[in-house]
Amino acid sequence: MAEEKKPKTEESTSKTKKKADNVQTVESKRRALATEYRKQEKISVSVSPMYRPYFGKNMHVSINGIAVYVPCDGKVYKLPKAFAIEVMSRIRKVDEMLTRKERMTSISNNVESSPGELRFF
């Protein structure tokens, strides 16, 4: 009554080959993308140590699976344009957050003579 199940070697081997081919395809695409980023125009970027509480010792920037780590040490680094734009965007967002926080905590300057006079954001 109990039938012995035979291992499906051909089927399992073909699935393994498909997975291996898929991994190789994805890896080759990732390498091609990394090469494309390396060919981009390089832009100088500097991240001040002031931003360490927000980004850590290094700012991690990942675009389409390609990662770059920019140290928050105040030195100038040349990055591909796509990564440099993202770094500058993150710095700008932190600056906006700090400016907004500063405006909101300045109680003596938050007095308005007519409603709507003050702009916080």
Quick check: helix, strand or coil at residue 58?
strand
Higher-pLDDT residue of 120, 84: 84
Mean pLDDT within 101-114: 73
Q: Does residue 109 lie in a domain region?
A: no
Q: Does residue 70 lie in a domain region?
A: yes
Main-chain dihedrals φ then ψ at residue 111, nearest 5 degrees: -95, 130
Given a cut of 90, whether residue 6 has pLDDT beyond it is no
Higher-pLDDT residue of 111, 74: 74
Which domain range does residue 78 map to?
A: 16-104
Q: Does residue 117 lie in a domain region?
A: no
**Is the full-model pTM beyond 0.75?**
no
Q: Does residue 27 lie in a domain region?
A: yes
The predicted-structure confidence for 33-54, as pLDDT tens digits, reads as follows 888 989 999 999 999 999 999 9
Q: Does residue 1 lie in a domain region?
A: no
Q: Does residue 84 lie in a domain region?
A: yes
How many domains does the chain fold into?
1
Higher-pLDDT residue of 4, 77: 77
120/118 Cα distance (integer angstroms): 6
Distance of CA 30 to the CA centre of its chain: 16
Q: Does residue 113 lie in a domain region?
A: no
Mean pLDDT of the chain: 84
Beta-ladder partners of 81: none
Q: Does residue 10 lie in a domain region?
A: no
Asked if residues 49 and 89 have their Cβ atoms less than 8 Å apart, the reply is no
pLDDT at 121: 60
Q: How far is CA 73 from CA 61, 62, 91, 92, in A?
A: 16, 19, 14, 17
